[in-house]
Amino acid sequence: MLSRELGGTAIETFWAGTSYLLANAVLLPFLGAVSDVFGRQSVLMFSLTMFAAGTIVCCTAKNFTQLLSGRTIQGVGGGGLFILSFIITTDIIPLRQRPKYQSLLMAAFALGTILGPLTGGLVAEHAQWQWLFYVNFPFCAVGFLVIPFAFRRFGLKIQLSFADSLRQIDWIGGMLFVAGASSFLMGISWGGVQYSWGSFKTWLPILLGVLSIAAFLIYERFVPTRPLIRLSIFDNRSGGLVFLLTLFFGFELYTHLYYIPFYLSSVKALRPSITGVYIMALSFIMIPLAVVVGAAITRRGTYLWAIRLGFAALIFENGLLLYLDQDKNLVAHFFIIMMVAVGHGFLMVSLNIATQAIADARDVVFAVSMFTFIRQFGICIGVGVGGTVFNNVMLRALENKGFPTDQAHAVAENSEAFVGVLTAMDDGPEKDGLTSAYVDGFRGIWYLLLSLAAVSLALSFLVKHHGIDKKLESGHELREKKGAESTVAKV
């Protein structure tokens, strides 16, 4: 729809989603660190303003250059809104009580992610594409009204002047990190989609990104008095393993949410709105389960059981996806796709709480920022790696089925754009062969995710338990007014 209305190519359409994800990911740790200096409310309002401004740019876009600019600005704002929501809970809620509150936040963001395909499908079929962005404005308006009211008694314990606050920020570390992460993720996103993996346009950004991140880590270890990221959060082996599991979780989550709708539209020829209904059904398991898991972690004081159950469930669920093909009925598809939500429901909260439990109390904000970044990092890697696996497996399947090499390459390299052609084809051997090749491509994805879940489950048994009965430490406070005085609230 976007490519037709704005005259964009398949690559530009791909970047309409990817530009948001990249901007969302790379600025997460920086915005979290800045909020420690300028205060949560200031950075939250900045993020909301950026999201609203990006939405306006998208709504008024006349071409893809404007649209991608708006999506990037939206990504900056969306990342800030996401990370600040969780950081604020670490300021005012003790760790033991935090899982049940953070599970509600996770559920809210998951609901928005899952409702997106349904909304997008309805817009694609029945309205102008601008309504994809118009729907954001009421939420932005509520945010602008609510944030000042909600933060009227919450702020920094020690408020510095604007000039002193600027000097407190690790600008050099921030530039190294943002540049390195952006370059690396750009290369990963380009690989196998826009350029081949062997092209210097793919490997050079990845190499420069790695070198920049290495320089950032060395700089952070030895130079700044107030670093962007406290590397002590990686000193504990269990902490490092949990961050690695978070990377795999992000990869699994995005790949499921991206490729299941693609599967339904290509293999089962479902309309966008019906595909959205299937994905929305995930919320009826994922969201309540995440809330229940959060409450159970608070009650039991442990989280490792949820991590292990989550990855075990993903192994089973990816195995079920391998069972699906063009001949299975839609009822079987519906229940199997709903089962995918179980593993993610267990992992959404448990991994986040694990990072906070393992980190020192003074480092919790940095652990939350890094957890969110690494999860988004995994999502972005899923874009490139998932696309490469799908295209290569599908290409091999087409060639094995006797399709000419030129046709096989054309279909595999433009598999999403070809869905409309496939759906319009008359039933026959050619359509059956093409559909079967799509199924093989998706099975390549499911095998990859199954293997990743199996590795993750094995690694989860190496993580040691850390208690969640920790003292609350924060440079921010929630005050209650009592007469003419103001005291720190007990939470």
Note the pLDDT of residue 7: 61
490 has a pLDDT exceeding 90: no
Query: Is the CB of residue 68 less than 8 Å from the CB of residue 56?
Result: no
pLDDT band at 319 (very low <50, low <70, confident <90, very high): very high
- CA dihedral sign, ordered 412, 415, 418, 424: positive
Note the pLDDT of residue 408: 86
Q: For residues 73-90, give the mean pLDDT.
A: 89
d(CA 290, CA 103): 6
Query: Is the CB of residue 289 less than 8 Å from the CB of residue 346?
Result: yes
First-residue to last-residue Cα distance in the chain: 49
Amino acid letter, 463: V
- CA dihedral sign, ordered 338, 343, 348, 349: positive
324 has a pLDDT exceeding 80: yes
485 has a pLDDT exceeding 50: no
Note the pLDDT of residue 232: 83
Note the pLDDT of residue 483: 45
Query: Is the CB of residue 260 less than 8 Å from the CB of residue 279?
Result: yes
Residues 6+ apart with CB under 8 A from 443: 322, 393
482 has a pLDDT exceeding 60: no
Share of the chain above pLDDT 70, in %: 89
Query: What tokens does 298 get?
Result: 């608070």
Note the pLDDT of residue 388: 83
180 has a pLDDT exceeding 70: yes
326 has a pLDDT exceeding 60: yes
Phi and psi at residue 156, to the nearest 5°: -70, 145
Q: For residues 3-31, give the mean pLDDT.
A: 74
Select, from the ranges 54-58, 418-422, 470-474, the one with the highest average predicted confidence (pLDDT).
54-58
Query: Is the CB of residue 452 less than 8 Å from the CB of residue 318?
Result: no
SS3 (DSSP) at 233:
helix
Q: For residues 421-442, give the mean pLDDT.
A: 89
Note the pLDDT of residue 179: 92
Q: For residues 308-323, give the mean pLDDT.
A: 95
Query: Is the CB of residue 349 less than 8 Å from the CB of residue 106?
Result: yes
Query: pLDDT for 124-136, tens place per residue?
Result: 566 677 777 888 8
Query: What is the pLDDT of the chain when averaged over all its residues?
Result: 84
Query: pLDDT for 211-266, tens place per residue?
Result: 999 999 999 888 888 888 888 888 888 999 999 999 999 999 888 988 998 999 89
The per-residue DSSP string of 258-316 comes to HHHHHHHHHTS---HHHHHHHHHHTHHHHHHHHHHHHHHHHHHS--HHHHHHHHHHHHH
Mean pLDDT check: name the lowest of 91-95, 250-254, 394-398, 470-474: 470-474
Note the pLDDT of residue 114: 63
pLDDT band at 48 (very low <50, low <70, confident <90, very high): very high
Q: For residues 29-43, give the mean pLDDT.
A: 87
The H or E element that residue 396 is part of is helix 364-400
Note the pLDDT of residue 438: 93
Q: For residues 287-303, give the mean pLDDT.
A: 90
Query: pLDDT for 354-365, tens place per residue?
Result: 999 998 878 888
Which residue in 383, 378, 392 sits closest to 441, CA to CA?
Answer: 392
Pairing state between β 476-482 and 154-156: antiparallel
Give pTM, 2 decimals: 0.85
